Amino acid sequence: MTTDRKRRVGILGATGAVGQKFVELLADHPWFKITAVAASERSAGRAYGDAVNWIGSTPLPGGIAGMPVSASEPGLDCDFVFSGLDSSVAFEIEGNFARSGLPVISNAKNYRMQPDVPLLIPEVNPDHTRLIKSQTFSDRGYIVTNPNCSTVGLASALKPLYDSFGLTKVIVTTMQALSGAGYPGVASLDILANVVPHIGGEEDKVETEPQKLLGKLTDDGIRYADFAVSAHCNRVPVLDGHTECVSVQLAERASLDDVRQAFESFVSDIDDLGLPFAPRPFIRVLPGAADPQPRKHVSMHGGMPVWIGRLRPCNVLEFRFVVLVHNTVRGAAGGAILNAELLVEQGYL
C-alpha cells in the first residue's frame, strides 16, 4: 500500500491515555495516517501539543503537535475513527459517528456485548467481522470493538485449548498494571507498596467476554462458548503489563504435553495475511520457571504477542499457567490498530 493510498484516521479521545497511545503507534504506520484528533470541548480549538499532557514513551510526533483538536462530533476529515473515549460518553458519540457513515473501531465497553457488534481479536475470531453486515447505523458506518484489556490475554490463551480440547471451567486471578487505569489513574498513596483487590466492573467483563470471543458465528448471530469463568481482578504497582494466573478444566482428556503442544503449535487464521501489527507467532511460550514477567517481556516485539509460562498441573482443576499481555498496546490501541488492518484486508475499510 503506497503512501498516497493511506487510510485517513481520526482519533476520538485523542488527549487521553489510550488516545495518546494511538498517536504514538500510528506515527509511522504503513497503511494509516492521522488526519484528525478530537477530544472534549475544553480541548477543542487548541493545538494538540498544547491540549495534551503527553505521557507517551516516545516524543510527541511533530506533525501531530500542531494539529488542531476538534470536537468529538461527525464531520472530521477522515475515512474512519479509532475511539479511545471513556465509557461515560462513548455510547452516544460512537453511535453518532457510525450513523454519520464512518466506521468506528472502539476500545470502550459500551457496544462490546451487543449482538450485532463484533468483539474482535483477529487471531481468535476474524470471521466475527461478518456481523458488520447486520448493523443498521448507516450504509457505510459501523462499530467494531476491542475486548477488555485483561480479556485479551485470557481469551487469546484459551483459544488453542478451546479449539483442541474444549473447556468447562476457568479460574483467573489478574494482576493489572497502573496504565490500565488511564491518567491520572490510581492515587499513589493507594497503590505504592500495595495491592488493590478491586477494579470496578472488571470481573464482570472478564467473566463474560471470552464466551463471545470464542463463540461460533451462525446465521442467527454468535452462539456463545459454553464454559464458566471465575475472575479475581487486582490492581498492582506495575507500569505496563497485565499478568494473569489461570487454571482450566478441559472438556476432553489431555496430557500436559498435549496442552503445551496446543500452545506452541497454534497458528491463527491471519498469520499469512501480512498485517503490519500482527506478531508471528501470536502466542509465545516461555520455558523459564519464573516467566513471564512484565519488566522482561511485555514490550518485546512491539508489545503485541501474548506470553505464556509456568504451565503445570493444577490440584483443583486440571492445568494452570501464567499469561502476560501488554494492556495499552495489545489490550487497547495496538489491538484496535490490528483490528483495522484486518478490516482493510477483508474489504470493510
Q: Where are the alpha helices (DSSP H) in 27-110?
A: 48-51, 62-65, 87-99
First-to-final CA distance of the chain: 13
Residue 113: closest CA among 221, 18, 22: 221
Query: 33 to each of 41, 49, 141, 208, how far by Cα in Å?
Result: 24, 17, 19, 34
Which element (helix H / strand E) includes 117? none
For residue 242, indicate whether it is catalytic.
Answer: yes
> Residue type for 169, please?
K
Q: Which three cell numbers stand for residue 179?
A: 496504565
Dist. CA 99–CA 132, nearest whole Å: 13
Residues 6+ apart with CB under 8 A from 261: none
Residues 6+ apart with CB under 8 A from 280: 271
Query: 223 to each of 50, 160, 161, 213, how far by Cα in Å?
Result: 47, 18, 18, 10
Pick the catalytic residue from 78, 128, 233, 242. 242
Q: Where are the alpha helices (DSSP H) in the chain?
A: 17-26, 48-51, 62-65, 87-99, 149-165, 188-191, 202-213, 256-264, 294-297, 334-345
> Residue type for 185, please?
G
Measured from the Cβ of residue 266, the count of other Cβ atoms closer than 10 Å reads: 20
Q: Which three cell numbers stand for residue 80?
A: 474512519
Dist. CA 112–CA 144, nearest whole Å: 8
For residue 78, indicate whether it is catalytic.
Answer: no
Dist. CA 87–CA 44, nearest whole Å: 20
Pick the catalytic residue from 149, 233, 297, 326. 149
**Catalytic center residues:** 149, 242
